[in-house]
Structure 1
Amino acid sequence: MSRPDDPQDDPIAYFLQDISYQGKSERTRAAYERVLRDFEGFLADGDDSVQTLGEVSHRDCMAYVHSLRGTVAESTVATYASYLHRFYGYMTQVGAFESNPMALVVEEIDESIDTDPQRREISVPEMRSFVDRLAHPLDRAIIVTLLKTGIRAGELCNLDQRDLNLVDDPRDGVTVRPQLEGRSNSLYVSATPSRGTQTNGEHRRASNKRQRDTVVPVDPELGEVLIRWLAVRPDPVSEAKPLFTGTSDNWGRRVTTDMVHHLVEAHARDVGWYHDGAGAANNVTPHYFRHFFTTHLRDRTGDRGIVKYLRGDVAQDIIDTYTHDWGSRVREVYERHIYQLL
């Protein structure tokens, strides 16, 4: 792939080359190119006043998103919108474009938060009883982390010990990320790891799918569960020091998404929350915990923006529209409203 010296010559090629430098896979680059070229073709077939991608307005973006509806699934609409948003956000950051027209669009269409009314609904007291049944320190730590943070199974698997900063930390000799210095009781979820690439010196088997790096507060309940896990965890085999490691045949090795799905399914079956053939709407899976987190925290806070930040669904330019002291506000709102599970 040839990269133009001037991003204005071919902004899409410029962007694609840059994300390849960032370690994105060929499959990911191909997906971005397909969407961005489709958008470019949409513009060419429409308003003659739009001469370049840098001149696009939010109304042009909205028109494109609207044209997709009815032709692809709503989840695909959300994916296309997120690709455009990341493209424009990046090109704005490097100074190639003056602004990101998708910033307003993603706020307005709000495609990224699951509001499926057919999905099984579980109350906080019911989930509390479910958590109370979890005796194994690893199972309890994994499930409570998913429930308290809303992260995906792959993002949980990619966590390294450097991504966790605790006040009462039982670990010795762990250096946390610079982004967590001065941020005690916090978890750092990076947007960087991609399946098939190296991160922190280790080949990764899962991708983090969030739009930006995120610092998630660790409340006292999650901190207690993690401290208990860290006190008994096997020594990690990898020099990357994964946060969650196996305790049976894969002793000391990073947990995988298959392992996470299996343990959640096993516990869900025990309480009648998982049945073969029931489908995603009724079965409790790791992704259901993300839905639970989104639904309950959004209803409690009434602040969709903070929930989207915690989920990793928004970029920095949208966060800046809320507050200049975003990190403090997130922690304050989160700690005041996060549900209790123990």
Structure 2
Amino acid sequence: MGGTAVVVGGGIGGLAAAIGLRRIGWDVRVVERAASLDDAGAGISLAANGLRALDELGVGEAVRSASRGQYDGGTRTPGGGWLARMDGSALERAVGTPIMGIPRSTLHRLLREALPAEALLIGAEAVSVERTGPGTARVDCGDAVLDADLVVAADGIGSAVRGRLFPDHPGPVYSGSTVLRGITERPIELRTDFELTWGHGAEFGHIAFRDGRAEWHAVLRLPARTRFADPLAELRRRFRDWHDPVPALLDATRPGAVLHHDVNELRAPLPSYVVGRVALLGDAAHAMTPNLGQGACQALEDAVTLAAALATEATVEAGLARYDAERRPRSQAVALAARQAGRMGHQLSHPLAVALRNTAMRLTPSPLALRMILRHHAWTSPKLP
């Protein structure tokens, strides 16, 4: 079965969906409202489930070659004491790969290069998505009108398509946390591949890249839309007493390179990821907090599952029903687990609660901690023809 598809949104999930659909014989156009795809963004960690999806899409080898394995690291206190160490080699033995760190811009470029240039319609906004018949839909992009057998809404957490399909859904809500991110301007000497440090109402973490640079992030409990005149100076003030390499990572970053976004999520689960011939994918379907590092991985799972379902089932309707049945329970369970993980991390601020959490982490046996990670990483990708 083949057909024509329009993917609304040219992010990681949308590009992956387009690659998957093309691999099963569909004619695909990706509509992206940004005037240019300038490889913006900070860094991303890819777990085994996301890498398996990339393998099935045919870009896994290229992504691995541009990534750095996260073998050594763990969770620390602001004073530098270890709460938990994670053995990337043990994870690799269990699921075949360690977690891989890669600049988001590099991942986006590799996905984009897997598509022909004519498949990308850049600088075009999907003004409306309408059903035009029992098996067709139309995407109005203003200057262009695209008819399709399938529309994939991968237009992010603020999805306009989702808002039109589910007008009574409350939409994204603020999680209570805001995140500042950056990539160091130069290579930096690090003793670990990744770290996460939990303080009272704050978190700081880093992942090392293949070229020696590193991505860092700082999560703060603040009112929504809080912004700083000089974000880097504010972070230096807040984290000046935290263990190395936290100050060094900030010092190696250009002030203008700091990104600042509030962390929003779809707290109310959607009743379906499919309406007619429109399928929701990625953050448009299940935007989650980043506490498990699974947001992009779940979008990649969506993309491969959608393509496999459409390749296997006799009709588009049957394929979309299978996609919804397979993806909604898993992705919503991961979103819930991510929210719960955040409550045990930087969101804790009471000294007693922090002390109890730290003690529990130190006493958790390594095999048990590994099993908890494997709950989300141990996903088997469906096969694409």
Q: Which has the higher helix share?
A: 1
Larger strand fraction of residues: 2
